[in-house]
């Protein structure tokens, strides 16, 4: 259990990356849905980068604070944007790309965070008062976005990855597959308790570290 000072510091350096991650994730879903012909999210004011319109009391506030209490990576979510696939110009293509848009946005932010880290590392003097803080903020943002991207790509209903999978199934197969959603919480708990999630996340962290080193070396 971290001290109060460590708790506050963890929140301070993680909050910018966390808010960008969850807001950009939902905005990307809404923007891609609009591209495929569904204006539901836009009509409800969700096609926005304003954190207030996406905030979920538990997922955006309580759950991340619980993670911070234990000193881990701040993890959480925003309110899912409303999407009506019936309005898509192409149902399967629309469902696939709208679902991928959220994790895809997190992958883009992870790459941008790695680039930001490399710029600070190579071009900001180590004597600068906020040098360490800036590096840690970019590093936290990188980790948070990688975790969100990989987690949401898990093929467990109703996560984004499962919706992408349904586009490759026929109607009956898709309905049966979606029924797994009733067990999703239990499945996630088992993955977490058995430490399987750590193994699932490991390749993403390795890739993130590789991207980080790539930018550091190329900008040196």
Q: Are 133 and 199 in contact (CB under 8 A)?
A: no
CA distance 64 to 77: 9
94-135 tens-digit pLDDT: 999 999 999 999 999 999 999 999 999 999 999 999 999 999
76-94 tens-digit pLDDT: 999 999 999 999 999 999 9
> Which alpha helices (H) appear in the chain, and where do they start and end?
4-35, 40-43, 51-54, 63-69, 91-123, 131-152, 160-166, 171-178, 184-193, 196-219
pTM to 2 decimal places: 0.95
Residue 4 falls in which region: left (phi positive, over 0), alpha (psi -120 to 50) or beta: alpha
Task: Give residue 70's pLDDT.
Answer: 82
User: Any catalytic annotation for residue 26?
Assistant: yes
pLDDT confidence bin for 192, thresholds 50/70/90? confident
Q: Are 89 and 36 in contact (CB under 8 A)?
A: yes
CA distance 41 to 22: 16
In the predicted model, what is the mean pLDDT of the chain?
Answer: 94
User: For 82, which DSSP code?
Assistant: P
Per-residue pLDDT, averaged over 36-63, amounts to 95
Which of the following is catalytic: 26, 39, 139, 179? 26
């Amino acid at each position: 259990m971290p001290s109060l000072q460590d708790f506050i510091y963890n929140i301070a350096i993680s909050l910018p990356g966390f808010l960008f991650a969850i807001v950009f994730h939902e905005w990307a879903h809404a923007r891609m849905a609009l591209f495929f012909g569904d204006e539901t999210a836009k009509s409800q004011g969700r096609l926005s980068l304003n954190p207030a319109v996406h905030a979920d009391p538990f997922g955006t506030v309580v759950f991340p604070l619980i993670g911070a209490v234990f000193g881990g990576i701040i993890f959480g979510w925003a309110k899912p944007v409303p999407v009506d696939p019936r309005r898509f110009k192409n149902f399967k293509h629309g469902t696939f790309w709208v679902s991928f848009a959220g994790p895809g946005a997190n992958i883009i932010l992870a790459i941008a965070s790695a680039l930001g880290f490399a710029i600070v590392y190579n071009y900001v003097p180590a004597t600068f008062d906020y040098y360490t803080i800036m590096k840690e903020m970019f590093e936290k943002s990188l980790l948070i976005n990688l975790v969100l991207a990989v987690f949401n790509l898990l093929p467990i209903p109703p996560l984004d990855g499962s919706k992408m999978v349904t586009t490759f199934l026929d109607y009956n197969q898709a309905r049966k597959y979606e029924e797994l959603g009733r067990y999703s919480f239990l499945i996630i708990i088992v993955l977490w308790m058995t430490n399987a999630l750590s193994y699932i996340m490991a390749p993403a962290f390795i890739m993130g570290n590789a991207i980080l080193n790539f930018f550091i070396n190329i900008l040196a």
